[in-house]
Structures are given as C-alpha cells and as structure tokens.
Structure 1
Amino acid sequence: MKANTHFAFFDEGSKKEIRRAIMKAVAIPGYQVPFASREMPIARGWGTGGLQITLSIIGQSDVLKVIDQGADESVNAVSIKKLVHETTGVDITERTTEASLIQSRHRIPEVPLTKDQILVLQVPMPEPLRAVEAKEYRTKRMHAEDDYSGAWLMLFEQIMKYGKTATAADHPVYVNGRYVMAPSPIPRFDNPKMHHSEALILLGAGREKKIYAVPPYTNVKSLAFEDYPFTVESFEGQQCHLCGSAGIFLDELIDQQTGKTVYQCNDTSYCMDQLNQKEKAEVQTSYA
C-alpha cells in the first residue's frame, strides 16, 4: 500500500456512507439506492460504481479477482486490479474459486459462486425503465406503484418486430417478486445464475449514482411472456476448441491460420482451469 494513502483509497467516512447504501440495497432486493458517488482516478463509465463498492467492503484478508467480459487481462480489469492492490495490498487471483471478492464487467463467472463470496457487477445504466421513460421522478413513481407496463410493452414490441425478445444483454429481471431490475449488461446466458445464488450480488452505477443488490437465495426471474418464454444464447453442438468445454458461454472467433469459425470459452480463467485439469489427467494416464 502506498504511503499517505487511506486503506482502499477512500476515507472511513466515505466508506461508511457507501456501506449504508449497500445495507439498504440488501434489505430491499432490486431497489436502486441513491448514493454520493465519489470522484475516482478512473473515468466515469469505466466501472467507478463497482469499484466504489469494492473499495468500501474489501478487507485485508480478502482475495480479489477482477474480470472484464470474461477476461482477467483486459485493460479495464488490469487497471482496477492495480488500483485496488496498490491501495490495499490484498492478494490478487485469476481463479474464481480462490477469490472472496469478485468484481466483474458484463459477466458472471462460469464456476458457481459460494456463500463465502461476493460478486460486484459494474453497471452503466441501472434503470430498466429508462428506454420507456426519460424522467427520473417518473421512473421512481412507476417502481413505487409496481407499474412495469412499459417494460412489458418494450418486450412485446420486440416480439412484434423480430418474432422474439431481442435483448442480447441486460434483459430485465423480477427480483423477489417486487422490483424489476437491470442485471447489468450480462448476457442472457448469465441471468439464471442470479436466481438463488449462494453469493451476495452487489451492483453499482457510479455515473448514475445508484447501488442495488441481490441477496443470497433470492428469487430472480427474467421477464417473459407465457407463450414466449425466456431463452438464453444457445451453443448446442459447440465446444471450446482449446479445452473442449461445452454448456458454457462461448465466443465465436475466426481462426487466423485456417480462416474457419471456432468457439472458445469466454471465461478465460475457467478455460485455463479446464486445460490444467486435462493436462493432469493426461499425465496420470501416461503413468498408469
């Protein structure tokens, strides 16, 4: 940790204020709690909301993992890890199972999270009704009155136009049977991972100054019509060309040598773990 710097960058007063917002968010699942978003040494829109949550709850014994769209080595992930490590000195890991605190942009890890972990999601737009209502005071009233006709109408218009709901990411969810929530721009594939998650999920939007949460074992249901049920991205018949994994979220790539389409694990640390397990199995087989 650098000299003349508060542990985890913020002064204790700032951390307490953010923790109070987090506690209220946990007490009212899916509800957007306003908070005094601080100025950060990174630009708004680059994960300041999630970073403020991480810096407010991290402790000296925590192990941190930061991912950006499944990758541990992206510019966004590396920059955030560097800031947190330099102001706390906590251990950094790329393995999901080793982390007690995971900050993520646009993905939930493939490995199921446990009750001993906290997932922090970066959110650019926390208001799921913004596409149908521009004014903040009106969206707040709509939430208070449980009026989500605009969200349903948005999905209905997509079905009329495309024959299906066309939300590639950030598909709205009902939390605890009460609030409609933006799950952050995670792919539809990750929405079911929020339902009855053992880990606490915290979501922070720095630019919009909102914090909200999904406590452990909370009901989370993606919005869908009975005759047009919610579906996730399908990778049926495909597997990672590196580790051979299937049934996970895959990226479609072009092999530079052959020019053919290949699929690869989006979660890079998951892919490495599978490769390591495969190598160990091959070694054990060769000695058997």
Structure 2
Amino acid sequence: MSLSTLTKPWAATSYGFLDASAKRELRRKMLKAIAVPGCQMPYASREVPMARGWGTGGLQVTLTLVNPASTIKVIDQGADDGVNAASIRRFISRVSGAAETWDTLDASIVQSRHRVPEETLGDRQILVLQVPNPEPLRGVEPNISIARQMHADADYGKLWLTLYEQIVRKGRIMQGAAYPSMVNGRHVMTPSPIPRWDVPKLNMARHLTFLSAGREKRLFAVPPFTRVEPLVFSDRPYRVEDHADLVCRRSGVSGYFMNELPIDGGGSAFEVSDSNLGIKAIQQAEGGEAAIGPTWYRNGEFSA
C-alpha cells in the first residue's frame, strides 16, 4: 500500500467552501428566521476549517451570503487586526473572491464577535454576529425541551424573576453582555455577547442582523425596522455602560465604548473598542481624508 492509494484526486471545492446542499438549507433557515424575528431556527452545522466556538456559526452564514461583489469586514471585540478576525476575513476572501476592508462604511457584510461597529449601518449592509449560546433561558431552565415550550407559550416569567432578584440583592440589574431582549414583541433572544451598549443599535435598525451559533446549531435574525426591547421594569430604565466621559489614549475620541487597559503602577487607561474608528480619528487629526460616518452614539448618548 502506498500513500497515493489513500488519497483522492485533487478537486476544487465549491464556491464559498460550503457545498450547495448546505447553502440551500442555511438560506431556507435564514428566510424563516427573518419571517419570525428572534425565533431560533435549527440547522445542520457543517464542518469548517476552524474549531467550534471560534465563530463557525457566523462563518457559515457569511459564506452563504457572500458573492464576488461583496466587501467583507470581520471584527473581534471591535478590532479588525485580531488573529481570529484576520484569519476569518482572509479565508472568506480566498474562497469567494470578495474584497476585504477594515472600513465599516465600505463593507456589505460585517461579521463580528462581541461588538457592533460604532458607525451606523445602512440598509445595504448585513451584520452577522457570532453567538456562543443562543438560548436566553438556559440560565433559568437547563432542560432544553421545557425551554422550547416556554418560548412557544411566551412564558418568560423566570427571566423576569432573575432580573428582579438582581435588583433586590445588588440594587441594580447586573446583567452585562447578552442582555435578554424582546424581539418584535414576541420572542426573547440573547443578542450574542455584545455589551449593553450595543443592544440599542439593533432596535429599528436599517440593516439586517443574523445571529448564528455553529456549536449549538441555531440561528435567528433581526430584520430591518424591527423592535428590539431589553427586558426592563417600568421603574428601572435600561442603562448602558457609563463610558461617556472616557477618552481614548491613542485617538483622543470620547463618548464611545472603551476597552479598559491596566497600566504599570496601578490605574487604567482606555482605548476605543472600535479600532477602525480610532484609526480614522488619528488620520483626521494628522490631516488625512479619512471619513467617519454617522455614529449610533454622540457624547455617550444614543442618538441614531
């Protein structure tokens, strides 16, 4: 026996890596997800050349949507130059012929882990969010069959009770990332691990948002101009992170979501989480022609 007998002849992969059957199934489930906003749709998650838990769900959705005319932006916790973001962006470009970009304004598809860009997305753009855990009820109901029945009955009393207990014990709602939100007045979803700062960006937005969990084999969607309302009590309004007065040490911008960085000798410094926004601000300060589009927030207040 030789090595040649154990290998198959070389053959080109399908366009966009995924086979036609996988794309058909994903497109059907994506259309269903748009028709029933916030409702989880199961799909047969395929193998892709990266480990599950590193964005395989978002990658499969992007590979289904991409075409040679697309322009792809991939960010990881706001950064375009992270190893995971750069690897995914390069892979998508190589298997589809799509152009790559760091600029939110130029992108037709934005795939993200943990963040929504600070610049406003338009009606010709699609946001794909990577989701580690798509089930908002998992923390209060570990039995997935019962959780499905609770979604069917719109029975979210246990979620409300969890938020109430946080107020009683801590004086405020402690839920940070993945804040449970009601979509279109019917289904509660977990908006991936994006911070509270980003949840208002999904409400009545002009862009289409897909949220996909490859490891859990679930996807759901928020169509354009759809209500996304965080679960709050009438006397406890929804509050985002208090970053209004923080200033980026590199770009000098303020009023946006910041990353806190420890410094020698104690204390913290801050950098704007949306790295491309910071780069544009630096280029403008140096006399460049970088264009910063309209942003969701102004001076720390939501204004879109």
TM score, norm. by length of structure 1 = 0.94
Match of 1:285 in 2: none
C-alpha separation in 1, matches of 2:15 and 2:55: 20
2:168 alignment partner in structure 1: 160
Of the candidates 150, 162, 175, which is equivalent to residue 142 of structure 1?
A: 150
Cα-to-partner distance string for 1:126-167 (whole Å, 9 max, x where unaligned): 000000111111111101101000110111111122111111
Distance in structure 2 (CA, Å) of the matches to 1:160 and 1:219 = 28
Q: Deviations over 1:188-243 (max 9, x none)?
A: 00010011111100000011111100000111111111122110000132211222
SS at match of 1:97: coil
Q: After the TM superposition, list the runs of 4 or more consecutive aligned residues in structure 1 that deviate by more than 3 angstroms.
A: none
Query: How far 1:82 moved relative to its partner?
Result: 2.1
Task: Work out which of the residue numbers 277, 280, 285 in structure 1 matches 2:287.
Answer: 280
Matches within 5 A, 1:180-259: 180-255=188-263
Find the partner of 2:54 among 46, 51, 55.
46
Give runs of aligned pairs for residues 71-220 of structure 1, distance below 5 A: 71-220=79-228
Work out whether residues 245 and 255 of structure 2, in 8 Å CA contact, stay in contact via their aligned partners in 1.
no
CA distance in 2, matches of 1:26, 1:226: 29
Counterpart code for 1:262: A
Q: Is 1:264–2:271 an aligned residue pair?
A: yes
Mean Cα displacement is larger for which, 78-87 or 166-175? 78-87
2:73: which partner in 1?
65
The residue matched to 2:105 in structure 1 has which SS? helix
In the aligned structure 2, how far is the partner of 1:72 from the partner of 1:281?
20
Residue in 1 that maps onto 2:293: none
Alpha-carbon distance in structure 1 between the residues aligned to 2:267 and 2:238:
31
Report the Cα distance in structure 2 between the residues aligned to 1:17 and 1:69, rounded to whole angstroms: 29
Q: Tell me the number of residue pairs that the alignment of Structure 1 and Structure 2 aligns.
A: 280
Query: What does the per-residue CA deviation read over 1:19-44, in whole Å, with 9 as the maximum and x for residues that have no partner?
Result: 10000000100000111111121111
Q: 1 or 2, which has the higher helix percentage? A: 1
* Secondary structure of 1:218 counterpart: coil
Gaps (5+ residues) in structure 2?
1-9, 290-304
For residues 281 and 117 of structure 1, the distance between their equivalents in structure 2, rounded to whole angstroms, comes to 26
AA aligned to 2:14 is H
Question: C-alpha separation between the residues in 1 aligned to 2:103 and 2:11?
Answer: 29
RMSD across aligned positions (CA)? 1.6
Task: State the one-letter code of the partner of 1:131.
Answer: G
Identity score, percent: 47
CA distance in 2, matches of 1:6, 1:183: 31
> Is the deviation greater in 52-61 or in 151-160?
151-160
Determine the C-alpha separation between the residues in 2 that align with 1:24 and 1:196: 19
Shift of 1:66: 0.3
SS at 1:42 equivalent = coil
Separation (CA, whole Å) in 2 of partners of 1:244 and 1:128: 37
Q: Show structure 1 runs of 5+ residues with no match.
A: 283-288
- Looking at structure 2, the residues matched to 40 and 82 of structure 1 have their Cα atoms a distance apart, in angstroms, of 14
- Contact 2:244 / 2:256 at 8 angstroms: preserved in 1? no
Query: How many angstroms apart in 2 are the aligned matches of 1:236 and 1:3?
Result: 54
Using structure 2 for the length normalisation, give the TM-score: 0.89
Aligned to 1:31: 39
Deviates more, 1:226-235 or 1:210-219: 226-235
Higher mean C-alpha displacement, 184-193 vs 271-280: 271-280
Answer whether contact 2:93 2:99 (CA < 8 A) is retained.
yes
